[in-house]
């Protein structure tokens, strides 16, 4: 394509034509990883049931976006342990209010009723990892989103724990338009 130089000081008049991006190609970065945020939350232990209003997150990570309306791939891993028989629940959310139950309020985007399940009153520890692709965000550039992980049991006389935790969030571009003017 040839570059044409126009001397605009020589009597150009009238309005510039309307510019539409509808036919432009090559301007999107869909699917590209814009940013990776990671954290190593401290070890966690609870004797609370999964629906208790006293249950606190076992892990959380705050992400400040660099893209518009990005999607997020959230990964949590740990050595998930339990003493006592029964089930341990696993829940991911992107909001949390102390004194309320994310499970009871339906305030979560991923929930596993059998996060860790043992049938005998013994101790178990498993290396565990969960991932979730969140495509529901409509965040502006520079907005902050915090993602939370909760563990909690069903029954009594148990302890849930998460050791050597790691959280990672990949921000994935959905539409990125770059305009450079000189």
Per-residue pLDDT of 46-101, as tens digits, reads 999 999 999 999 999 999 999 999 999 999 999 998 888 788 899 999 999 999 99
Beta bridge partners of 20: none
User: Distance (Å, rounded) from C-alpha 27 to C-alpha 23?
Assistant: 10
Q: Please give the domain boundaries of the chain with CATH numbers for all domains.
A: 33-172 (2.60.120.1340)
Of the two residues 43 and 179, the one the predictor is more confident about is: 43
What is the pairing mode between strands 33-39 and 110-118? Answer: unpaired
pLDDT of 27 above 60:
no
Model pLDDT, residue 180: 47
Model pLDDT, residue 24: 47
Rounded average pLDDT over 112-118: 77
Model pLDDT, residue 31: 82
149-167 burial: b if 16+ Cβ within 10 Å, else e: bbbbbeeeebebbbeebeb
Do residues 92 and 73 make contact, with C-beta atoms less than 8 angstroms apart?
no
The sign of the dihedral angle between the CA atoms of 87, 88, 90, 96 is positive
Quickly count helices (H) and strands (E) in the chain. 0, 9
Across 135-182, the runs of DSSP E, i.e. the strands, are: 144-153, 159-172
Do residues 167 and 41 make contact, with C-beta atoms less than 8 angstroms apart?
yes
User: Distance (Å, rounded) from C-alpha 127 to C-alpha 80?
Assistant: 6
């Amino acid at each position: 394509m040839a570059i044409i130089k126009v001397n605009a000081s020589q009597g150009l008049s009238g309005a510039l034509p309307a510019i539409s991006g509808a036919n432009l190609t090559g301007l999107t970065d869909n699917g590209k990883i814009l940013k990776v945020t990671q954290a190593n939350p401290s070890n966690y232990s609870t004797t609370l049931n999964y629906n208790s209003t006293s249950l606190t997150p076992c892990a959380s990570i705050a992400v400040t976006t660099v893209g518009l309306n990005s999607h997020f791939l959230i990964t949590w891993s740990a050595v998930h342990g339990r003493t006592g028989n029964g089930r341990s629940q696993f829940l991911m959310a992107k909001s949390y209010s102390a004194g309320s139950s994310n499970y009871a309020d339906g305030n979560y985007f991923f929930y596993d009723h059998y996060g860790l399940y043992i049938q005998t009153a013994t101790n178990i520890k498993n290396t565990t990892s969960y991932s979730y692709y969140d495509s529901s965000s409509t965040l502006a550039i520079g907005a902050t989103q915090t993602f939370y992980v909760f563990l909690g049991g069903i029954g009594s006389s148990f302890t849930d724990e998460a050791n050597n935790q790691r959280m990672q969030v990949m921000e994935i571009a959905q539409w990125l338009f770059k305009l450079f003017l000189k």
